[in-house]
Amino acid sequence: MDGVQVIFTYKAILTVTEKMLKAAQANNWEELISLEQECKLLTQALISNSNQIQLSDEMQKKKIDIIHRILDKDAKIRTITEPWMTHLQNLLINANQKRKLDRLYSSD
């Protein structure tokens, strides 16, 4: 992987992150999960292939700009998903408590 490919991969991660934000805004959780997997693969490729690459100052600035944009999108995604995840967690806790009570009272 060379510097151009590194920047290209960061841009691909940004594109996927933008799609993830749109999916989260649309409450399309299946799409969000699918895109999250795609983003994970891109990130893993970047990590495993770019550790020895020296970027020019211009490319380094591009990389930093793209990372900031990715982090901005990620923060927006989290503001949407965290309340949903808390709600889902509460539903699971309540279901678990109901099962325990059902077992307790039906074991007679």
What CATH code is carried by the domain that includes residue 83? 1.20.58.380
Per-residue pLDDT tens digits for 4-35 = 999 999 999 999 999 999 999 999 999 999 99
Report whether 9 contacts 59 (CB < 8 A). Answer: no
Report whether 25 contacts 80 (CB < 8 A). Answer: yes
Counting the structural domains of the chain, the total is 1
Report whether 53 contacts 5 (CB < 8 A). Answer: no
Q: What is the pTM of this model?
A: 0.78
Q: Is the pLDDT of residue 108 over 60?
A: no
Q: Is the pLDDT of residue 79 over 80?
A: yes
Q: In terms of residue numbers, what domain contains 41?
A: 3-106
CA-closest candidate to residue 55, choices 2, 19, 95: 2
